[in-house]
Structure 1
Amino acid sequence: MSYTLREHTADIAVEATAPELGGLFGAIAEGLAAAMCESVPTSGGDRFEIECRAESVEALLYEYLDQLIYERDVRLVLPVDNEATVQDPETPGGEWRVTASARGVPLAEVTAREIKAVTYSEMVVEQRDDEWYGYVVFDV
């Protein structure tokens, strides 16, 4: 899995690919962390878990990233080393689900800039050949 930060007018975007959908979610979350911080400590911080549900894969990615921003604000940590598993609906019209974890580096230990929010603007989540592709714009 990999991600790239992309300039986007006054905002910042993350473009990522991964062989599995959970890996794509994790890569975009890593891109979010990189957009907030120039250098991420390789140690320190405690892991925490989150779970989100939504009616579509795009809404699920939005909820997941929004939850990471919420955790940053409530726990005062930078979520890094993100791992995610995505389950598609078992029945048509059912809910998508992500179970994930991240290591929360205390914000006092890093120099971070604020990412205000995740947006639906230009969001893409799709399977391309044998990998997943994602593009997400964040409001800075």
Structure 2
Amino acid sequence: KQCDFLILDYINQLDLGNAHGENLATSLGHAMKRIKDLAVEENIPALVIAQMNREIEKRNDNYKHKLSDLRDSGVLEQAADVVYFINRPELQGNGKGEDGESMVGIGTINILKNRNGATGTTKFRYNTHMTRISDY
């Protein structure tokens, strides 16, 4: 009972092995199940960070994420209770929001899946000089 929070940064770097001839998706599914079982057993939250695939770079709306933007998305979508993407439009050369507001110093969290709550988008402010985020 010495661990209060599990963070895995990032799941795509796990050496999943292939001892049983499983494909990557199956191995990833087993790893996610073990991580989730551990979190439930220890009664702690688990944050698993995953890589995005490159398809998003080919779209014009690369700041509007989809669950399929996750690399090996099917397995991750199934296992996750919550899936969200963090975006800082300013870094992508998009200094204006959809309503024309300045997005300099403003980021978004897009919650695409939430088993026990709402989905949607929320904004936050960030200060790059202090590596700090705060309420919008």
Instruction: State TM-score, norm by structure 1.
Output: 0.25
Instruction: State TM-score, norm by structure 2.
Output: 0.26
Rg larger in 1 or in 2?
A: 2
